[in-house]
Amino acid sequence: MTESEPDIARPSRAGRIRFRLGVALAVMLVVLAGLWLVRKPVAEHFIDDALSRAKVPARYTIEDLALGHQRLSDIVIGDPAHPDLVADWVEVQTSVDFGGAHVTGVRAGHVRARGRIVDGALSLGTLDRLIPKGTGGAFRLPALQLDLQDGRMRLEAPQGVVGLKASGSGRWRRSARGSRVAPALPTKR
């Protein structure tokens, strides 16, 4: 080294490691921020793909998409001319653990559904393709918290048409609290 060359200090090994970790952290934050910005289109893709595989026509709007809370609005499931389910809004609470993502609760408002009794069993039209099945293929209620505000159903039975109305909250598979409303009397066609 000559006297005219400046004395350049080389960073210590710990300094180089801190610098590399800082760069890696910055890159990871940029990637996470990018994923957060495109979360709605990605969620729409997954929802649309699942509905397409089940051959369920549907229309919806994603209003809010957070880690433990999702809100959909303007939901129409089934034939748009005669939908099987219409809801003003649905909020889904989820949790993520080592086993994957799980739905833990559903809140819904102004829900209208159509159903029929076919061969002694309840059919909800295209919704049947989305409902989880238990052993032997029978309908199984999911274990989740449900909060329903102004839910109504038009049920076609062999005896006639029945109108059902429900509002309340509770845990499926155990009990639910809500206002009790007498169903409309069946009418002959």
List the domain range (segments joined by +) for residue 126: 59-179
Would 94 be classed as within a structural domain? yes
156 contacts 116 by C-beta, under 8 angstroms: yes
Given a cut of 60, is residue 184 above it in pLDDT? Answer: no
Sign, CA torsion 145/71/39/69: negative
Each residue's pLDDT tens digit, 84-116: 999 999 998 888 788 777 788 899 999 999 999
Given a cut of 70, is residue 138 above it in pLDDT? Answer: no
Would 28 be classed as within a structural domain? no
Given a cut of 50, is residue 137 above it in pLDDT? Answer: yes
Would 173 be classed as within a structural domain? yes
Cα–Cα distance between 55 and 138 in angstroms, integer?
A: 20
Q: What's the pLDDT at 175? A: 46
Would 108 be classed as within a structural domain? yes
Each residue's pLDDT tens digit, 158-175: 889 999 999 988 876 544
Would 75 be classed as within a structural domain? yes
Given a cut of 60, is residue 182 above it in pLDDT? Answer: no
Would 13 be classed as within a structural domain? no
Q: How many CA atoms lie within 13 A of 161 on its CB side?
A: 7
Q: What's the pLDDT at 147? A: 92
What's the number of domains the chain is made of? 1
Query: Nearest Cα to 84, choosing from 155, 136, 19?
Result: 155
Q: Which residues pair with 89 in a beta bridge?
A: 73, 109
Mean pLDDT, rounded, for 25-33: 87
Q: Length of the chain in residues, anyone?
A: 189
Cα–Cα distance between 121 and 136 in angstroms, integer?
A: 14
Cα–Cα distance between 49 and 37 in angstroms, integer?
A: 20
Would 147 be classed as within a structural domain? yes
Q: What's the pLDDT at 41? A: 81
Q: How many CA atoms lie within 13 A of 39 on its CB side?
A: 14
Would 41 be classed as within a structural domain? no
Torsion of CA 63, 69, 75, 77, to 10 degrees: 140
21 contacts 29 by C-beta, under 8 angstroms: no
Tokens of 90: 């649905």
Q: At 113, phi and psi to the nearest 5?
A: -130, 160
Cα 73 to Cα 84, 92, 103, distances in angstroms: 16, 11, 18
